[in-house]
Amino acid sequence: MTYLGDTGEISALYRPAAEIQSVVRPLSTSTFVAPGSVTNGQYGLFRWDMRPESGGPDAHFHKTFSEAFYVLDGTVGLFNGDKWVDAKAGDYLYVPEGGVHAFHNKSDAAASMLILFAPGAPREKYFIELAEIAESGRKLTDEEWLELWARHDQYPA
């Protein structure tokens, strides 16, 4: 139990869309609906919009947080560590800490999903850094990629 009061309190947080940050990249848009910084680190909730044939990350895992995917629209390829599944609207995948996973959109239509991180690791910093690298045209060496991923608790599988 984390709340010990007897009467409840006024503590809800409303975030109008205009206050929610998005990172727009050529193939995807990351919307930081509720990052850990606004949920007291309890979870992070992002919306991930992918353009047609936008690909996605290679198989990887995280050591300090779980990740869950909920498909809103289109077809998202979800890798559960064993096989790829073509997930449609309403489909869900939970990945505990250490679970190998990946996602992509290889279809010819756009796709959207929600991604939930628990606890609320500051994942927005990772996606902002990726966007900055892409925008700068900088090419990272294999060693630089490994260092970047490790700083953000992401490890290749």
SS3 144: helix
The CATH number of 23-156 is: 2.60.120.10
Q: What is the pLDDT of residue 2?
A: 85
Query: Cβ(50)–Cβ(56) under 8 Å?
Result: yes
Convert the pLDDT of each residue in 52-87 to its tens digit. Answer: 999 899 999 999 999 999 999 999 999 999 999 999
Q: What is the pLDDT of residue 55?
A: 87
Task: Measure the CA–CA gap between 9 and 142, rounded to whole angstroms.
Answer: 50
Q: Is the pLDDT of residue 41 over 90?
A: yes
| Short-list 51, 66, 134, CA closest to 100 | 66
Which residue in the block uniquely carries the two structure tokens 């190998």?
Answer: 100
Mean pLDDT within 136-153:
96
Global confidence as pTM:
0.93
Q: What is the pLDDT of residue 66?
A: 98
- Percent of the chain exceeding pLDDT 90 equals 94
Q: Is the pLDDT of residue 1 over 90?
A: no
